[in-house]
A = this chain, B = another copy of it.
Amino acid sequence: MVYPPGTVALVDEERVGLVLMHLGRDIDARLRRQLSTAGLTPRHGFTLSHLCDNGPTSQQSLLDVLDVDPSVLVAILNDLENAGLAERKRDPEDRRRHIVVMSEKGRVALTGMHSAMNTIEQEMLADLSPADATQLRELLLKVRPPAGTSPCSGD
């Protein structure tokens, strides 16, 4: 790097922020590629993951967690329903609400996402010892997630 006078002198590789950006983008692309054969995107996977973690959920609360536009969630759920991975049911207590339920087929699809991620992580962490990998995990969990951003905003 050329260090001109008065310039912050930092190569990309020295910046934790940039490294995280690049790794994150790459993992996203790899997961997207792996899921594409099933016609899904990472965001479909996150939605299934949340349904698996929390059981049947209203669209409203999915919106909070996924932090996407309502119209985007509609498209996601349409895809999942068309693929038979989830289903919308009317909430009898308030007929405006939809309760979203993951199907057994959705469970299988979610398993597929996790095994795709297993593969990706194995490749990524190939040069780290098990102790390093553990420590990396712990350190990453200490990184402060930015205010107002949810973990599932991805597409």
Report which A residues bind B (CB closer than 8 A).
1-2, 4, 6-8, 10-31, 42, 46, 49, 52-53, 55, 107, 110-111, 114-115, 117-118, 120-121, 123-128, 132-133, 135-137, 139-146, 149, 151-154
Contact = CB atoms under 8 A, between A and B. Distances in A.
B30 A146 contact: yes
16 contacts: A4-B52, A6-B111, A12-B152, A16-B121, A16-B137, A18-B117, A19-B137, A20-B20, A20-B23, A21-B27, A21-B28, A21-B42, A24-B27, A29-B146, A136-B139, A136-B143
Copies of this protein chain in the complex: 2
Nearest to A9: B114
B144 A26 contact: no
Given A6-B111, A24-B22, A135 B137 contact: no
Contacts of A42: 21
A35 to B, nearest CB: 13
